[in-house]
Chain A
Amino acid sequence: MTAAAFAYVRPTSVEGVLEHLDSGRDVTILAGGQSLMPSLNMRLSTPELVVDINRIEALRGIEQRNGYIRIGALVRHAEVASSDLVSRHVPLIARAMRHVAHPAIRNRGTTCGSLANADPAAEMPACAVTLDATLVLLSRRGRRDVPAREFFLGLFETARQDNELLAEVLFPVARPSERFGFDEVATRHGDFAAVGVAARATLASARFDALDLVLFACESRPLHSAAAAEIAVGQSWSPALGDAIATAVAAEMEPIDNLHGRGDTKRKQARTLITRVLERIVHG
């Protein structure tokens, strides 16, 4: 399989990228390429121009900035997985990263690329929604900060405009009272998940002061459960509470039937995962 013909450019500045994005041509950004390249090889994607951002220094790096951990568009999954800043301040990402693909893919694939691609089965979009991360979009018209909860619109569909570059993502630094949980069901380790759960809870002893529970992989986009928070906040943990939350989330779900299984199977898997993740959060 060979990709359909396309022109190629590798700008050395963000401005250069933005110019190409604004050219009116059918442009695709190439960062890690771990989703784009299969799509090019299979001709599911046939852009006119591929803009390779791999030589832009400004898009590298993981940094701490007033209350946020900033991950640039060129930061590979493997860098995130081995980052002390991330494991200390964004433990949810550190935990979820173990489930992201395989070593060879993690060495090249980027965290921002995974967000921009918005594959419903990918882990990073779900984590960004759980943590209410901020996605920084740049275009020639300026900068737009979009909350993750408004960024994912549907299957591979995001709030990013064609002329915008996802330049970086900002994850809020975890507070001491917050606890995190993550788990997923996948056929094989590293494969895309059939059903996954990410959660952030604020706990005062066993009482929930806040709960952000996100279900992903079986929906067209990450589902940030309103019901889970409504039921949990103010309540202390008990298996019955876990069951009530799992039941409520299962009712909110709109699972897609696919190769991984039927919708009702995924509801059952989700219920099991939700109680498992919450139990682990509460019992440490």
Chain B
Amino acid sequence: MASLPKAEPIPVEADEHVQIAFTLNGVSVQTDVLPRQHLADVLRQAFRLTGTHLGCEQGVCGACNILVDGKVARACLMLAIQADGADICTIEGLTDSGIIADLQEAFVQRNALQCGFCTPGMLMTAHELLKQEPAPERKLIRETISGNLCRCTGYHAIIDAVESTARARREARDAS
């Protein structure tokens, strides 16, 4: 079986499995993939990380959002083979880290989820927004989550949850 050293152009045939190595939720992992497999499938099937939801597999719904090298990306719009050498964080890793515990609590308090299918992707998007903009206006929150489809809540409760988390974080920071 071929492996892909960091900066080598080793070609992989269509029916050939190749070993990739990457950091997944802080742990070094390896797995074998075919070139045509997208990353969301591999995360769900090889690593049983089923918090990465697959809604549309064409980049529209946002349910499969993950962090790639710290930035939000659609796991369905990346080949698994491209994760080789990357730092990947799924909703499971982000949850375990504790850094979005307040955001998750706000989602529960505000009823910002019903069926929960969109929630992992929403949390990823909201997490990135709150990192970049500690005081987002509702319009900005709405624009930012416009790439995540929710068919239950009508979005208002999600915007409320993101807004209240931002406010609480600012108050906590000002108080300290």
Contact = CB atoms under 8 A, between A and B. Distances in A.
A274 interface: no
Interface in B36-85: 36-38, 41, 57-59, 62, 65, 68, 71-74, 76-79, 81-82
Interface in A26-61: 30, 33-34, 37-38, 40-42, 48, 50, 52, 54-55
Interface string A1-35: 11111111111100010000000000000100110
Contacts of A52: 79, 81-82
A30 B35 CA distance: 12
B78 A2 contact: no
Interface stretch (A98-106, A148-156, A161-169, A226-234): A98-106
B9 A105 contact: no
Contacts of A37: 38, 58-59, 74, 76-79
B147 to A, nearest CB: 2
Contacts of B125: 102-104
Contacts of A42: 57-58
A102 B57 contact: no
Contacts of B19: none
Contacts of B7: 12, 55
Contact of A104 (B12, B73, B142): B73
Interface residues of B, number: 42
B14 A7 contact: yes
Nearest to A1: B57
Given A7-B12, A10-B9, A104-B73, A34 B41 contact: no
A108 B73 contact: yes
B146 interface: yes
A104 B9 contact: no
Interface in A184-221: 188-191
B9 A41 contact: no
Given A5-B36, A34-B74, 13 more contacts: A2-B36, A4-B36, A7-B14, A8-B12, A10-B10, A12-B9, A38-B59, A50-B35, A102-B62, A103-B72, A104-B147, A105-B77, A107-B73
Interface of A: 1-12, 16, 30, 33-34, 37-38, 40-42, 48, 50, 52, 54-55, 78, 101-105, 107-108, 188-191
